[in-house]
Amino acid sequence: MKFTLKIWRQKNAEDKGGMVTYQVDTVSPDSSFFEMLDQLNQQLISKGEDPVAFDHDCREGICGTCSLYINGRPHGPLKGATTCQLHMRAFRDGETIYVEPWRCGAFPVVKDLIVDRSALDKIIQAGGYISVNSGGVPDANTIPVPKPNADSAFDAAACIGCGACVAACPNASPMLFVGAKISHLALLPQGRIEAERRVRQMVAAMDSLGFGFCSNTYACEAECPKEIKIANITRLNREFLAAKLAAEKEQTGGFAI
Amino acid sequence: MALAGVFLLVFLAVHLGINLLLLADDGGKAFSAAAGFMGTHPVIRIFELALFGGFALHIAFGVIVSIRNRKSRPIRYQHRSLSETSPFSKYMMHTGMIVLLFLVLHFIDFYFIKIGVVSPPPGIGRHDFYSRAVALFSDPAYSAIYLFSFLVLGFHLNHALQAAAQTLGLNHPRFTPLIKAASALYAMIIAGGFMAIPLRFTLFN
Amino acid sequence: MINLNAKTPGVPLPEQWDAYKAGCKLVSPNNKRKLDIIVVGTGLAGASAAATLGQLGYNVKSFCYQDSPRRAHSIAAQGGINAAKNYQNDGDNVFRLFYDTIKGGDYRSRESNVYRLASISPEIIDLCVAQGVPFAREYGGLLANRSFGGAQVSRTFYARGQTGQQLLIGAYSAMSREIAAGTVKLYNRRDVLDIVLVDGKARGIIARNLVTGEVERHSAHAVVLATGGYGNVFYLSTNAMGSNVTPAWSAYKKGAAFANPCFTQIHPTCIPVHGEFQSKLTLMSESLRNDGRIWVPADKSDAELIRQKKLRPEQIHESKRDYYLERRYPAFGNLVPRDVASRAAKERCDAGFGVDSHGRAVYLDFSDAIERLGRAEISARYGNLFEMYERIVDDNPYRTPMMIYPAVHYTMGGLWVDYELMTTVPGLYSIGECNFSDHGANRLGASALMQGLADGYFILPYTISGYLSHEINTPPIPTTLPEFHLAARDVTDRLARLKKSGGKESVDHLHRKLGKVMWEYCGMSRNEQGLTKALGEIAELKAEFASGVKIPGGLKEYNPELEKALRVEDFIELGSLMVRDALHRNESCGGHFREEYQTPDHEALRNDDEFTYVAAWEHQGDAAPEMHREELHFDTVKLTQRSYK
């Protein structure tokens, strides 16, 4: 197969950057999108040009490193798949393919198609955990968890933190990412203990990092490679409102008698 | 945003109820009575102030959020987005702006006359909304603008109710589809109801 | 001369860990604040260690090459994690898990470490549940288990097919909490290129900032390597693209012994290679072998027609199919251990019965199971795997048998460590897959996750305090010491040399070449002649790399080709050591199969009299490495020949 590629090239964070057109021929339809880019890079190296930099690691759809915006969609045209799980047979022979980095002010470009997503780590650091230390915890079967809750918690926890939700959102909002983490922990009895504090801190962190606000377009749900549901955003909103209403309690330590 | 929006949703329903009285074949008696009640009753006057506040908040929030949202993506994509979204949800600001423009027009035509800022056209009393409406709808251009505005409002509303439910944290596997259906139905009733009036006046007069 | 004293406590096996902990020196909280620890790697072992050390109050500096610690390759582990909880009341206990692990490892692991691992396993599950890991549950709300290869009990805890991901997110979250608290400082997008020794003790590292290209010095009172396995020496493997041996290899060059490098696990059920530009192999869970039947055509002519795409596998009559595992191993059939199943597939393909266009694949057929259980049941059990297969191969496994072939998956070998998980360099620790670990010559399914977390959460935090208790009077190590200067200069020189080499070949091209040599001669089965040949070819490749590699881009910028070059250069040297190790071990055990040492019916033949030891290799500069032995003593378990017939 043959393709015309229009790829965003940008030397570093300071560079202005722009689209550059490349041709690749003799691509196997069984190649993954990255193997096609590998092939392009081999061509560029043999010509002495700088290869295209892109983020990738596990190449089996689980690490969440890959982050290409392909033809107007994060992770390309395939539903429920990461870029590394996209194969060239999903494209027409001779097609022109636009490849861009995730676009969000909170995700500055590092080089070419690579962006810095540490803002997502910062949101987790603000409260995306259960505050227990290694050791001194109860036996695992001491607290039963209803299976439907455990299953829903897993569905939310399946998030790979790739940031496709941010890339897809017309407002560059990470609500699906945050909602998934809030839901995962709020659905488990272990996570309920500090649920109020968690949601307030994570939302505050999200708001401070330069992301946009959710306007319920649901583009995130349509593009999530792990098909995380927007019901998780609803739960986040619910938890947040409840936590805001209950905020007094924690600040004053309840009523003194 | 959502709370102010929900408040406006209630207002729209009341306004539609009164406007539909225009369709009653009584030469505007019922409509005028209702309009008169709305225009003079002290409780309604208080609600009117709240309503202005609701609009102001809704618009202000909308503008602030839109500006922040645009800033959150300083460099835009080269390829237009092909991501599936809830219908018209991407264009809430655009549809909102069109509705706002209509609102200005609407104020000039009715509200400003009522409060005496603008003098009514010759031959029509300051509180005679029925005659005013009949006169305006007799102009096909005005009717067209009116129809277009409410079509756009319909799109705005289609997303409104379900988005408000989402923002307020209401979700249930069984009820969420119902909320979405209700949202669409509400949008259709409001848009359709308001649009019925110029259609009736333009086509059957 | 290195000292291979395992420091096993001199009490009976079940009491060792308690005895160790009782006698272990501790560091008081006010002193912990003054001590720095570097942890390299943020997979299960590294993240759990960083989190726990941070909770204890040490100053932790955590390094990873990924953009986020959550992306380390532990995330890709599918099946589950073993623990001797006996929740199923099926007769499991610590001893049985210990015994299964020793036997599964073909009697080439250290009893004391394995026993400790088994005894800690229940605590891991408790902790993960408290962290919010959403393990599978029964309707009663309690935890579910499944069975896995090499065990007669159900002791595997799992979170669908994404257990590694969920456990890693648990460890990453715990670590994130410490980052917020300020006890852990994260250095992401860093390649660790050298270990710095001061007065013989590990005192720091030299790292390259992958974004700016800057060569950085970082110091600490102790250094922990949790850098995973080296399967990418084979070019194609199930490892992540960035998985590498470089930090472990620099430790080896600084005096840490490298143990059993030739012990590699080849997983039998991976999606076959499709072409020259393939970059990565994808694993299909071992659980598929519970219901799938493995076969190749019984006639070579049929195999040939299939390779030419003139015949479809569904068209081959039952009587013309060779279910070779069921034929050779009637007792275990398709459920023989990983090493046995892998070798059998290779044997059939070598003999000319392989399918797929290049003849390097066998069928995994579900038609019997679909007939027996119904399509719905098969879909419930394996639906996500079938989808993944179809996405990659573009073929529907409900209709056409899956094609599978073995692929490199895990490396049992690694840095030699004692009972305290310290390498032969004082103050340098190695945990998780990075050490030569507890798996002997073959690892059982669902044991890697257990080991990584045991090391990081529960073992290292104890053992390192014994070492650091002697360091409480050592002030922070200045990075201006001459040792840091020298190490940084060596790294800078190395970078400049690579950049200058000015050849024509891309790094990938040379890596692929190395992979072919390793796979051909040091892969699933090995022989003296092939290994000797491989030594020569790797030496040639090393020379070719030195003069012929081409690296575009600059040193002071984001340069993925440069990163790859550093990794591949180390892989070439490691490859040579692996071959040397495979050549010296004149026996077949676990993942190491020497064709000269097999039973008349082609099964692995161990030589317990001569090879019941760990081969720990010591770097000798340009001269050949020196092999040291740690004799293995089996006081509790009796050595027997594994048989699956």
Q: Is the pLDDT of residue A28 over 60?
A: yes
Chain A residues touching residue C132 (CB < 8 angstroms): 129-130, 153, 157, 184-185, 188, 190-191
Percent residues over pLDDT 90 in chain C: 86
Return d(Cα C170, Cα C157) in angstroms, integer: 15
Q: Which of C129, C167, C409 should we substitute to test contact with A (largest number of A Cβ atoms within 10 Å)?
A: C129
CA distances (Å), origin C406, targets A31, A85, C284: 20, 20, 10
Q: Which residues of A touch C120 (CB under 8 A)?
A: none
Q: Is A130 on the interface with C (CB under 8 A)?
A: yes
Q: Which of C67, C139, C211 sits opposite A65 (nearest CB)?
A: C67
Instruction: Say which CATH topology domain C266-409 has.
Output: Flavocytochrome C3; Chain A, domain 1 (3.90.700)
Domain ranges of chain C: 266-409, 486-607
Q: Which chains does chain B touch, 3 or more C-beta pairs < 8 A?
A: A
Task: Tell me what pLDDT residue A247 has.
Answer: 66
Residue C388 CB contacts under 8 Å (≥ 6 apart), including other chains: A61, A85, C282, C284
* DSSP per-residue letters across A186-209: HTSHHHHTTHHHHHHHHHHHHHHT
Q: What is the mean pLDDT of residues A216-236?
A: 96
Instruction: Give the start-to-end residue ranges of the domains of chain B.
Output: 2-71+92-204
Q: Is a pLDDT exceeding 70 seen at residue C147?
A: yes
Residue A181 to residue A127: CA distance in whole angstroms: 10
- Averaged pLDDT for residues C19-24: 96
Q: Are A87 and A61 in contact (CB under 8 A)?
A: no
Average pLDDT over chain C reads: 94
Is the pLDDT confidence value at A256 over 60? no
- Contacts with B77 (C-beta within 8 Å, 6 or more apart), sequence order: A69, A72, A100, A103
pLDDT value at residue B205: 59
Q: Assess whether pLDDT exceeds 80 at residue A251.
A: no
Separation between Cα atoms, residue C65 and residue C71, nearest integer Å: 10
CA distance C416 to chain A (A): 26
If one counts every other C-beta atom within 10 angstroms of the C-beta of residue A248, the result is 10
pLDDT recorded at residue A252: 47
Confidence check: pLDDT of C150 > 80: no
- Architecture of the domain made up of A3-111: Roll (3.10)
CATH code given to domain C486-607: 1.20.58.100
Mind listing the pLDDT tens digit for each residue in C602-611? 888 999 999 9
DSSP code of A87?
A: B
Closest CA to C40 of C75, C72, C15: C72
Q: Tell me what ipTM this predicted complex has.
A: 0.96
Burial zone of C462 (CB within 10 Å; 0-12 exposed, 13-18 middle, 19+ buried): middle
Q: What pLDDT sits at residue C161? A: 83
Q: Is the pLDDT of residue A93 over 80?
A: yes
Identify the top-confidence range among B22-26, B51-55, B87-91, C401-405: C401-405
Q: Report which of B73, C144, C524 is spatially closest to residue A104, judged by C-alpha positions.
A: B73
- Kindly indicate the confidence band of residue C473, based on its pLDDT and cuts at 50, 70 and 90: very high
The number of C-beta contacts closer than 8 angstroms across A and B is: 117
Say yes or no for a CB contact (<8 Å) between B78 and A211.
Answer: no
- Average pLDDT of C318-330? 94
Please report the beta strands in C48-189, taking only residues with DSSP state E, as ranges in sequence order: 59-63, 81-82, 156-157, 184-187
Per-residue pLDDT tens digits for A67-82: 999 999 999 999 999 9
Q: What is the pLDDT of residues C200-211, one digit of tens each?
A: 999 999 999 999
Per-residue model confidence as pLDDT tens digits over C60-114: 999 999 999 999 999 999 889 999 999 999 999 999 999 999 998 999 999 999 9
User: What pLDDT does residue A249 have?
Assistant: 56
pLDDT per position as a tens digit, B147-192: 999 999 999 999 988 898 899 998 888 888 898 899 999 999 999 9
Average pLDDT over residues C134-141: 96
- Say what the pLDDT of residue A255 is: 47
Structural tokens at position A153: 């918690």
Across the interface, of C126, C134, C283, the residue whose CB is closest to A188 is C134
In chain A, residues with a C-beta closer than 8 Å to the C-beta of C76 are: 58, 60, 62-63
Gap between the Cα atoms of A43 and C329, Å rounded: 48
Q: Which has the higher per-residue pLDDT, B23 or A145? A: A145
- C126-143 burial: b if 16+ Cβ within 10 Å, else e: bbbbbbbbbbbbeeeebb
d(CA C188, CA C61): 10
What's the whole-number mean pLDDT along residues C361-365?
Answer: 96
Q: What's the pLDDT at A257?
A: 40
- For A166-197, write each residue's pLDDT tens digit: 999 999 999 999 999 999 999 999 999 999 99
How far is C418 from C16, CA to CA, in rounded Å?
A: 14
Q: Determine the pLDDT at residue C174.
A: 98
Q: Do chains B and C touch (3 or more CB pairs under 8 A)?
A: no
Strand partners, C429: C224, C422
* Top-ranked range on mean pLDDT: pick from B1-5, B152-156, C52-56, C355-359: C52-56
Minimal C-alpha gap between A143 and chain B (Å): 26
Nearest to A98 among B73, B79, B168 (CB): B79
- Comparing A88 with B117, the larger pLDDT belongs to A88
Residue contact B77–A72, C-beta within 8 A:
yes
The candidate with the shortest Cα–Cα distance to A85, out of C441, C152, C56, C282, is C282
Confidence of residue C385 (pLDDT cuts 50, 70, 90): confident
Task: Give the model's pLDDT for residue C200.
Answer: 97
State the burial class of residue C438 (Cβ atoms within 10 Å of its Cβ: 0-12, 13-18, 19+). buried
pLDDT band, very low/low/confident/very high, at C263 (cuts 50, 70, 90): very high
Closest CA to C220 of C485, C52, C40: C40
CB C353 within 8 A of CB C303: yes
Q: Could you tell me where in chain A the CATH 1.10.1060.10 domains are found?
A: 118-252
Please report the pLDDT score of residue A248 as a whole number: 57
Q: Distance (Å) from the C-alpha of residue B106 to the closest C-alpha of chain A?
A: 28
Within an 8 Å CB–CB cutoff, is residue A91 touching chain B? no
How far apart are the C-alpha atoms of C406 and B145, rounded to whole Å?
70
For chain A, residues classed under CATH 3.10.20.30 are 3-111
Across chain B, mean pLDDT equals: 88
Tokens 């962290």: give the residue. Answer: C131
The model's pLDDT over B60-96, given as tens digits with 9 standing for 90+, comes to 999 999 999 999 999 999 999 999 998 888 899 999 9
Mean pLDDT of C228-246: 97
What is the model's pLDDT at position A131? Answer: 98
Looking at chain A from residue 171 to 200, which residues have their Cβ under 8 Å from any Cβ of chain C? 184-185, 188, 190-191
Token reading at C595 = 């064709």
Chain C residues within an 8 Å CB radius of A147: 137-139, 141
Domain A118-252 is found in CATH 3.40.50.720:
no
**Chains C and A are in contact, defined as 3 or more C-beta pairs closer than 8 angstroms:** yes
- The answer to whether B170 contacts A234, with C-beta atoms less than 8 Å apart, is yes
Question: Element (H or E) spanning A4, and its range?
Answer: strand A3-9
